[in-house]
A and B are shown apart, each in its own frame.
Chain A
Amino acid sequence: MKILYFAWVRERVGKAEETVEPPAGVATVADLMEWLAGRDEAYAYAFENRRVIRAALDQTHARPEAAIAGAREIAFFPPMTGG
């Protein structure tokens, strides 16, 4: 699946997007954040405060408990500050 990062999540991870193949046990948005946070120090820093990070599945806002099965594109970003 394709993962996108925006704003300070992107800066901390060090890339805007990537394709990953998480293991079978990674079922929800929260699971995916947990798995990403364990990859290395940059990801651990990006996802250290997981409660503030928002996610979107296929360009629709998603809650941490949302299932990621079937999603083509998952995005992680801070609370929005547009307008």
Chain B
Amino acid sequence: MTVRIQREPFDPAAEVKALIGRRTDIGAVVTFTGICRGADDGKPVAAMTLEHYPGMAEAEIERHVVEAQARWPLMGVTVIHRHGRMVPGDDIVLVVTMSSHRGDAFAAAEFLMDYLKTRAPFWKKEEGPEEAGWVTAKADDDAAAARWAAAGTATGSQD
């Protein structure tokens, strides 16, 4: 497991390559990249600043990676979350999951993102053309995370 919180940009392709290494038993790699949008609910966003809770951010993401590893037969996981100021088009978050089969890799990546959005201690402040404001948490994100609590291990062949 690799979990990093950093200000610097990341390179998804390099992270995937590093995670696979020389292994030949990997059948599926899923990567999710979250990107800073230029508008939120129709309002233009000039930039955003991501604040985080150092220490807890890493610990909370690691706890969810451990849970993902218990639910699905994963062969590797990388999560990178940036903090600081970002402009539209900048990468914010990367999740990479590796498994023998795509179902497990897809499910684990979605699980990690759903939990990351609602449980990892990060807060976005958006800068519009004139004013800045904290982003409000979305009920949809809570619902997306909650479905995993009921679902248990939802997918996939274990062979």
Contact = CB atoms under 8 A, between A and B. Distances in A.
B120 A80 contact: yes
Determine the main DSSP class of B at the interface with A: mixed
Nearest to B133: A8
Interface stretch (B19-27, B48-56, B98-106, B151-159): B48-56
A79 interface: yes
- Report, as a range, how many residues of chain A touch the other chain: 10 to 19
Interface string A3-33: 0101110000000000000000000000000
29 contacts: A4-B53, A6-B51, A6-B53, A6-B123, A7-B51, A7-B123, A7-B125, A8-B134, A59-B56, A61-B60, A61-B119, A77-B121, A77-B123, A78-B134, A79-B118, A79-B136, A80-B118, A81-B117, A81-B122, A81-B123, A81-B124, A82-B52, A82-B81, A82-B93, A82-B117, A82-B120, A83-B34, A83-B120, A83-B122
Interface of A: 4, 6-8, 56, 59-61, 75, 77-83
